[in-house]
Structure 1
Amino acid sequence: MFGRCNFALYNKYTIVYKTFYKRQLSARALLSAASVKRQQQPHKLLILPPTTSHGQNSLHTTNAQHLRQSMSADTKYKLTEVEGDLFSAPETHSLAHCVGADFVMGAGIAVMFKQIYGQVDKLLAQGVQSGGVATLQDKERYIYYLVTKPQSWGSPTYDSLRASLVAMREHMRKNNVHKLAIPRIGCGIDGLEWDKVSAELNSVFDGEELEIVVYNYVPK
């Protein structure tokens, strides 16, 4: 009888093992195999659907716009030359020319700037020295006075011109100026070479969202 009891218990535990523990062990084996397979596979990028949150959508739009601007920034700067009178430039374009820190403006195109826009006292009050820029505002445009020398009778250098251009660029950035009309600045009576001046312009403004139109006055 004792032997029959042991045999019955053996059969009972065999059935439990096959129906319960064996299933658990098989499931664990499958999970372990799947885990190993995932580790061996390369990681894939998870692309999430657009969120419906207004704040996050705005952030996504802002980042996308910034990316587009960064990618296309190098193609937005443009420098062209035309024949004509600088003062016939559209009012959408700000103007710029070179002066001395004394703002005498007694020769060259500076004379026309002085006659048309005046306000010499206001320019002097800004206290700009060589390498800086003074400004006046005429309606929606700015008039830039690139101070490239201490006195009007002196001569500018390429370094002082570049410093003035950088100062003007910073003002333009802060005030969203994207169109500029100029003569061949620093050339003429100031004696700089246009090839070198245009190279300075390209160096300072490359990458800016800016259109520069150079007006060459040709008497008829």
Structure 2
Amino acid sequence: MVRYVNEGNIFTINGIKCYAHGCNCAGAMGKGIALQFKMKYPKMYRLYKKKCIDGTFTIGDVFEYVTGDEHIYNLGTQKDWKMKADLEAIRKSISTMMELASQGNVKAIAMPKIGAGLGRLDWCDVKAIIEDVALKYSNIELVVVENYKERNTDCQ
């Protein structure tokens, strides 16, 4: 099942401790949500960078990092930060992530709208892939935050 949130921060969604994001395979997490992952999980970043340098994290791959009850899914969606993300790599990495999550008894994963920001793909194309893959995993909820917002600043 996929649930879309118009605005928010994947790290502040109640009840969710597992996260995914699209990555390049060049070892760089210098912008966007990737930079937030780098700052929040520095050990994960060092392992990811080593995998990229060693050539063991390539387009379409998933690097799952587990710390305590958190699972972080680094999805290899683009070769490097200069190139567009790749739709087939997104399909492959999301499929692998969902299989890993199912095996790990993960019930919910929060993620940004991958591939459509710095990855420069059409969000409708990426969204169709996410929904198609998620159909096979009804036991896992994907919560997709479509627009980043640090916190709610609306007066109520």
Q: What is the TM-score when the length of structure 2 is the normalising length?
A: 0.83
Once the two structures are overlaid, the 10-residue window that deviates more, 148-157 or 128-137, is 148-157
Higher strand share: 2
Gaps of 5+ in 1: 1-76
Contact 1:123-1:136 at 8 Å conserved across structures: no
1:194 to 116, 123, 136: 123
SS in 2 for 1:148: strand
In structure 2, C-alpha distance between the alignment counterparts of 1:156 and 1:207, rounded to whole Å: 23
Contact 2:2-2:134 at 8 Å conserved across structures: no
In structure 2, C-alpha distance between the alignment counterparts of 1:171 and 1:158, rounded to whole Å: 20
Contact 1:129-1:147 at 8 Å conserved across structures: yes
Matches within 5 A, 1:15-94: 77-90=1-14, 92-94=16-18
Give the aligned residue type for 1:114. Answer: K
Matches within 5 A, 1:127-142: 127-142=56-71
Give the aligned residue type for 1:116. Answer: K
In structure 1, C-alpha distance between the alignment counterparts of 2:115 and 2:2, rounded to whole Å: 20
In structure 2, C-alpha distance between the alignment counterparts of 1:171 and 1:113, rounded to whole Å: 19
1:81: Cα distance to partner?
Answer: 2.0
Contact 1:103-1:152 at 8 Å conserved across structures: no
2:135 equivalent to 1:210: no
Select the structure with the greater relative contact order (CA < 8 A; seq sep ≥ 6): 2
Residue matched to 2:28: 104
1:164: Cα distance to partner?
Answer: 1.0
Distance change in 2, residues 1:97/1:200 (3 Å): same
Greater C-alpha radius of gyration: 1
2:48 equivalent to 1:123: yes
Q: What is the TM-score when the length of structure 1 is the normalising length?
A: 0.60
1:185 to 114, 135, 143: 114
Gaps of 5+ in 2: none
Contact 1:133-1:168 at 8 Å conserved across structures: yes
SS in 2 for 1:189: coil
In structure 1, C-alpha distance between the alignment counterparts of 2:110 and 2:58, rounded to whole Å: 23
Contact 2:27-2:50 at 8 Å conserved across structures: no
